Amino acid sequence: MNDSRILEISDLKTYYYTSRGIVRAVDGITLDLKKGESLAIVGESGSGKSTLAFSIMRLLPDNARIVDGSIWLYPEKIDLVRLSNDEMRKVRGRRIGMVFQDPMTFLNPVMKVGDQIAEAIMYHHGCTQKVARKRAVELLERLRIPDASNVALRYPHQLSGGMKQRVIIAIAISCNPEILIADEPTTALDVTVQAEVLELLRGFIHELGMSLILVTHDLGIVAEICDKVAIMYAGKIVEIAETYSLYKSPKHPYTIGLLKAVPTVHKSSSEVGGIKGNPPDLVNPPAGCRFNPRCPYVFEKCLGEEPPLIRVNNDRAVACWLMM
């Protein structure tokens, strides 16, 4: 076993049970995360990225269930899938923190934001309310919120979108977790605020020595913050690589299509392309490779056999028959 490993996901399957049938949102994911490493999970909407993040945190809705696989937390090698709810509450916030996509969904509208930050600190550290509130104000100051002591006394609806997202970050890092999961943390923000939030996240990761899992559909922000990228499509990982290597030389046809869709100052408008078609219905996914209905390189084997994720060199794994 790699001594620097902090999280290992093994053959994880998380399904939603709906009136239409079983949605295989996460269908056999295997990943690992090292201490101090920043990993991006990238893919289109509906690829299963957020379901993977919520599976790690065990915060799934009532109609979702982890049906197979393990999520090992090191160094103790605790399987999060098999912890009781009470045991998992001790892990959330203390060892794994999460920055949610929509702050208004996860902030209590009738509770002052300073008290919401302090609540997590008191629960995990057993300190007094006075000490926890002081720590909450210090966190808001470090997150560059002006007049932090007064902001701590406000309710979520009195704050801007960028300030609410900073409060969510403050809650997530309040207990210095070993792992931080950020689920589309800048989607609802304008470009300027988005850059500030990413800079803050990057700073805290390095300062506190945290490992990061960044869930995003935006390959444009990945290079600024992540060491490694896992490309997810239709509930499966199709490519894993170091960030620089992936940008320089993508291997899977889906990864190539995603990178072509990212506008840059070096591309003309005619060079920016898209991926034809739509992601498959995960109630009834296509046989073989799930990308085959949209793949420009599809051949007969792709239609009948699902490609395994295999390592093609030291820093790259790809699930594509073209690579085998």
Question: Is 311 domain-assigned?
Answer: no
Q: 71 and 198: one domain?
A: yes
- Examine residue 82 and state whether it is found in any structural domain, yes or no: yes
Amino acid at 83: L
pLDDT of 161:
87
| DSSP one-letter string for 27-62 | EEEEEEEETT-EEEEE--TTSSHHHHHHHHHT---T
Asked whether residue 119 is assigned to any structural domain, the reply reads yes
User: Is the domain of 76 the same as that of 212?
Assistant: yes
Distance between CA atoms of residues 247 and 271, nearest Å: 16
Tell whether 118 and 146 lie within a shared domain.
yes
In angstroms, rounded to a whole number, what is the distance separating the alpha carbons of residues 145 and 126? Answer: 26
Residues 81 and 223 in one domain: yes
- Same domain for 43 and 162? no
- Domain final residue, candidates 239, 257, 278: 278
Instruction: Answer whether residue 76 is part of any domain.
Output: yes
Q: Are 168 and 202 found together in one domain? A: no
**pLDDT value of residue 34:** 95
Give the domain range for residue 163: 106-176
Give yes or no: residues 77 and 187 share one domain.
yes
pLDDT of residue 206: 87
Q: Is residue 310 part of a domain?
A: no
pLDDT at 266: 59
Q: Read off the pTM.
A: 0.93
168 class by beta-carbon count within 10 Å (0-12 exposed, 13-18 middle, 19+ buried)? buried
Total structural domains in the chain?
A: 2
Q: Is 53 among the domain residues?
A: yes
Looking at the structure, do residues 153 and 209 belong to the same domain, yes or no?
no
Alpha-carbon 321 to chain mean position: 27
- Of 260, 278, 296, the domain-final residue: 278
CATH number for 201: 3.40.50.300
Give pLDDT, residue 269: 58
Q: What is the model's pLDDT at position 104? A: 81
Does residue 112 sit in the same domain as residue 248? no
Whether 289 is covered by a domain: the verdict is: no
Residues 79 and 204 in one domain: yes
Which of residues 147, 176, 205 is at a domain's end? Answer: 176
Same domain, 172 and 230: no
Residues of the chain with pLDDT under 70: 1-3, 264-272
Q: Are residues 135 and 64 in the same domain?
A: no
**Number of neighbours of residue 176 by Cβ within 10 angstroms:** 14
Residue 300 counted as domain residue: no
